[in-house]
Amino acid sequence: MYAAEADYFAAGGPGKSSFAPLAPFFSPDVVLHQAKGLPYGGIWRGHEGMERFFLAMSGTWDVFDMVEQSFLSETSPLVVLTHVHVRARATGRELDFPILQTITVEDGRITEVRPFYWDTAAIAAACTNYHSADDRLPRS
């Protein structure tokens, strides 16, 4: 699944990538929980939801490289620590950050994904014209 995801992002973003190579890895009733503070935050359900999620991700990131991965548990739920390098499509800003995911697998397909981010504010800020929360405060 991670190789198919990398291929999806490498294909070039919205309208250039197809969800079809990813679909077999996900149960038809898969649920993905993304932190609300992210540009693609919320709960994504089913193949249609996952397709919309991957479009939102590729619309957010011009580069999304999984630099290093460690599988901390190889039985369901899987626990995967991934260090990523990203470049925001809207701002060109680059970030490196870890994501810890729990991934539930049933009958060989992913049924639930829960990613945990250390700093959602920094990730969201990289995608906007603001560098930090302090930049949003009114100046007198």
Residue 10 identity (one-letter amino acid): A
Radius of gyration of the chain from its Cα atoms, rounded to whole angstroms: 15
Report whether pLDDT(68) > 70: yes
pLDDT of residue 137: 43
Burial 84-101 (b: 16+ CB within 10 A, else e): bebebbeeeeebebebeb
Backbone angles phi, psi at 13, to 5 degrees: 100, -170
**pTM of the predicted model as reported, rounded to 2 decimal places:** 0.82
As a whole number, mean pLDDT of residues 44-73 equals 90
Domains delineated in the chain? 2-128 (3.10.450.50)
Q: How confident is the model at residue 15 (pLDDT cuts 50, 70, 90)?
A: low
